[in-house]
Amino acid sequence: MSDSQNTRLAELEAEILALKSELLHAQKVASVGMLATSITHEFNNILMTVINYAKMGIRHKDPATREKAFDKILAAGQRASKITTGMLSYARRQADRREPTDLVNLLEDVLVLVEKDLQMHRVRVETRYEHKPQANINASQIQQVVLNLIVNARQAMANGGSLIVTVRSNIAEGFGEISIRDTGCGIPAEQLKEIFKPYYSTKTRDSQGQGGTGLGLALAREVMESHGGRIRVESAPGKGTAFTLKLPLAGISQAVIPVAPAPPITIPVA
């Protein structure tokens, strides 16, 4: 090719990269909008807690009652701060800067955003943290992938169900893994090989107008591959679907940190 053709090709490639970045950001903004209703409801509950316990502290002068009121107000404020921090972290537009990130902490930041939405749709969440692997990632992009998979899982459970999220280290393969498993409708085998293709979708838009664009999984695969990772899916109609994200460990020596034995953390159905 001539120099002018090479220059034009480089310009087109740069434009494609810019458009992909814009598409990722647009999908992120759409996700924030989708969660707005449930998060607003959650903040209303927090405000009511603060107001009611403040009134109780004003009415009752004994130290024990006032201490209880202050504790409840503090807990509510900390909950609000956690939600706000998570939302700002998720919505912030970042350059493609990658750094070692704890995958358990990353998942927890996403779950705090979707907790109320899942409760409203009668989805019970169970977390299984086998290790605390670290991966060298753009946390914002991986959060976006995880959030999209959780929303997809919720939409697959129209009548409620269970969502199991697992984090583990796979030393043999050199990956930190995040697994998101639902008990939804599942995906027929003939559709599984198509789901990562752009604009291919197995569902229609839900009551909130979300889903069905066929872009979410295509972008998820692109983000994972850009990190040197993989996305895998297993599904059976009527039994559910499991997506596994595999991300290269930041360092084997510090990546396998076992989690102290503890009962599984659950988010109950409201």
What is the block-wise mean pLDDT of the chain (270 residues), using blocks of 10 residues?
Answer: 76 72 63 67 81 88 90 87 72 70 92 88 95 91 90 92 96 95 92 78 56 70 91 93 95 52 43
Instruction: Give 24's strand partners.
Output: none
CB 201 within 8 A of CB 211: yes
Given a contact cutoff of 8 angstroms between Cβ atoms, the answer to whether 266 and 164 are in contact is: no
Cβ atoms of 133 and 167 within 8 Å: the answer is yes
pLDDT at res. 24: 63
Q: How far is CA 228 from CA 37, 87, 91, 168, 248, in A?
A: 35, 26, 24, 18, 7
Topology, domain 98-267: Heat Shock Protein 90 (3.30.565)
Do strands 240-248 and 99-102 pair parallel, antiparallel, or not at all (unpaired)?
unpaired
Q: 255-266: buried (b, 16+ CB within 10 Å) or exposed (e) per residue?
A: bbeeeeeeeeee
- Inter-CA distances, 42 with 89, 185, 239, Å: 18, 28, 31
Q: HEC profile for 152-184?
A: HHHHHCCCCEEEEEEEEEECCCCEEEEEEEECC
231 neighbors 245 (Cβ within 8 angstroms): yes
Predicted pLDDT at 167: 97
Per-domain boundaries in the chain: 98-267
Structure tokens, 105: 């902490």
pLDDT (0 to 100) of residue 123: 96
Largest distance between two CA atoms of the chain? 86
Angle at 76 between CA 74 and CA 77, to 5 degrees: 65
Enter the pTM of the model.
0.68
